[in-house]
Amino acid sequence: MNEAALPHEDIASLLKWYVDHGLDETIGEEAVDRFALPPPAAAPAIAPSQGAVAPTPIRAPLQAPMVRAPVPLESPQLAQDARELARRCGTIAELEEAVRAFEGCALKRTAKNTVFADGVAGAPVMVVGEAPGADEDRLGKPFVGVSGQLMDRMFDAIGMSRERDLYITNILFWRPPGNRTPTLAEQAVCVAFTRRHIELARPKVLVLAGGTAAKAMLETTEGIMRLRGKWTSLKLDDGTEVPTMPTFHPAYLLRTPASKRQSWLDLLAIDKKLKELGSK
């Protein structure tokens, strides 16, 4: 394609597309065929007055210095690094700063924003969902899209709001491309921070919204259909235990309105538990 024929706006849009996808440098003007055979070596010249000359012995190439390879983005070492980094954080503000500076999760490279938390830190109820969606990625806050609005109305039905009674986050801090299910490696890295997040927030009750969050936090393979509506206890690394209620994700309720009745029963159970604990 003749680049001179492209309008200036199209060229600028193409360059922006390259930069957004991480292509920020060029290598050469012409493509290199890596599969082409090398040209045959030229025969050594023979001096007429000296006759044949003994070939020069081939020297072994010098060994390149050892260079430590970067840790692969799917390495279990990254989860260990995240746990150690999270453990050193003594406040939620320090943890947020560590999460925003962390480069060990590949999702951060494609996300627009780091989505850390919303609501009131130290609130009696902490809600942990799966991952940011498009609206959350754009605004930098969890549960602000259509499903988040439904969740607000649900808690409002039992007299609670995110401005006063809720602290909201996800197990992932960056949106997976296309809202795909996060890989186990991505979950392992981010859950290390999320567990410390719960320790520092110290909620009276933990609500796990959706199967991915419930399975990751409870370290189980059971689905949300079996887990929801049943109280369990999440034991944290500092030895504390938090009463935990798995429930349907609001996005699931938008697709399956008939399940709202079960979620309402879960909300009533949460309301009852808070009254028993003296937190409402």
Q: pLDDT category, 67, cuts 50, 70, 90?
A: very low
CA trace torsion 256, 124, 245, 221 (10° rounding):
100
Q: pLDDT category, 77, cuts 50, 70, 90?
A: confident
Q: What is the pLDDT of residue 206?
A: 98
Q: What is the CA radius of gyration of the chain?
A: 28
Tell me which amino acid residue 229 is.
G
Q: What is the pLDDT of residue 74?
A: 55
Q: What is the pLDDT of residue 39?
A: 64
207 vs 41, higher pLDDT: 207
Helix axes 92-101, 184-201, angle to 10 degrees: 160
On the question of pLDDT at 72 being above 60, the answer is: no
On the question of pLDDT at 158 being above 80, the answer is: yes
Q: Which domains does the chain have, with CATH numbers?
A: 76-276 (3.40.470.10)
Q: What are phi and psi of 108, to 5 degrees?
A: -65, -25
On the question of pLDDT at 69 being above 50, the answer is: no
User: Which string of DSSP letters, residue by residue, matches the chain?
Assistant: --GGGS-HHHHHHHHHHHHHTT------SS---TTSPPPPPPPPP--TTT---PPPPPPPPPPPPP-PPPPPTT-HHHHHHHHHHHHT--SHHHHHHHHHH----GGGGT-SS----EE-TT-SEEEEES---HHHHHHTSSS-SHHHHHHHHHHHTTT--TTTTEEEEES-SSPPGGGPPPPHHHHHHHHHHHHHHHHHH--SEEEEESHHHHHHHHT----HHHHTT--EEEE-TTS-EEEEEEE--HHHHHH-GGGHHHHHHHHHHHHHHHHHTT--
On the question of pLDDT at 68 being above 50, the answer is: no
The structure's pTM equals 0.73
Mean pLDDT of 233-243: 93
Question: What is the overall mean pLDDT for the chain?
Answer: 85
Tell me which amino acid residue 19 is.
V
* Neighbouring C-beta atoms of residue 3, cutoff 10 Å: 8
Half-sphere exposure of 84 (CA within 13 A, CB side): 7
Mean pLDDT of 36-52: 55
Share of the chain above pLDDT 90, in %: 69
Q: What is the pLDDT of residue 30?
A: 63
